[in-house]
Amino acid sequence: MAGGRLQVAVLISGRGSNLQALIDACAKADFPAEIVRVISNEADAGGLDKAAEAGIPTAVVPHRDYPDRPAFEAELDKEIRAAGTELIALAGFMRLLTEGFVDAWRDRLINIHPSLLPAFKGLHTHERAIDAGVRFSGCTVHYVRPAMDEGPIIVQAAVPILADDDADSLGGRVLAQEHLIYPLALRLIGEGKVRVDGERAIVDEVTDQPTGATINPSPPKV
């Protein structure tokens, strides 16, 4: 860690909504992590502008320029390591990563997913949750494993599904919670309060605080 702060690379493909939440958190003097590189597979990703505005170095590794996923990931890995990265955060990175890449960064690679995993892995989570008639949805920050949307769960937030919800209204409430729990997960890891035991993430020393949703573990008091 540089100056005691966890060195983080964020991978994006789009607008960078969760990236902005991480940028805002890392801008605080007492936050235990800093973003050292933002990398996108899409040159027109809006999140690259957000990073540039915050003075964070960026890189583009266009996946279409490579013959296969291993070749793409080799260049991606090169960019990540060149920044002195200790942890990778996926924030709307729309590429499946190979087992080799995931294993190389095992327990140093996290993702946020818009459902209460292990329910509703993959895409169209809000539509599927509504159609299934479940009463709660939410979001999950987890360590990445080779299988899609699997891995030890670090933090989850739950929101109720309302009778008149559609995918957009539910998605908006879930996204608001994503912006809370992704920085929370990064803080917990940066403070050394998360350890992996088998396929469980054990979180230590977390103090409850009232929030607008059910978050587990709860954010620390400030």
pTM value is 0.93
Q: Same CATH fold, 112-222 and 1-105?
A: yes
- The values of phi and psi at residue 186, to 5°, are -65, -40
pLDDT band at 214 (very low <50, low <70, confident <90, very high): confident
Burial of 11-43, coded b for 16+ CB within 10 Å and e otherwise, reads bbbbebbbbbbbbebbeeeebbbbbbbbbbbbe
- Please check the confidence at residue 208 and state whether its pLDDT lies above 60: no
- Catalytic residue IDs: 113
Question: pLDDT tens digit string along 23-60?
Answer: 999 999 999 999 999 999 999 999 999 999 999 999 99
Question: pLDDT tens digit string along 118-171?
Answer: 999 999 999 999 999 999 999 999 999 999 999 999 999 999 999 999 999 999
CA 124 remoteness from chain centre: 17
Q: Using an 8 Å Cβ cutoff, are 46 and 127 in contact?
A: no
Q: What's the pLDDT score for residue 210?
A: 42
- Please check the confidence at residue 61 and state whether its pLDDT lies above 90: yes
Report the chain's mean pLDDT, rounded to a whole number: 94
Q: What's the pLDDT score for residue 153?
A: 98
CATH superfamily of 112-222: Formyl transferase, N-terminal domain (3.40.50.170)
Q: Determine the Cα angle at 119 with ends 155 and 110, to 5°.
A: 40
pLDDT band at 212 (very low <50, low <70, confident <90, very high): low
List strands edge to edge, sheet with 58-60.
58-60, 33-40, 6-12, 87-90, 109-113, 136-143, 153-160, 214-216
* CATH for the stretch 1-105: 3.40.50.170
CA-only gyration radius of the chain, Å: 17
CA 184 remoteness from chain centre: 11
DSSP β-bridge partners for residue 10: 38, 89
Domain ranges of the chain: 1-105, 112-222
- Please check the confidence at residue 209 and state whether its pLDDT lies above 60: no
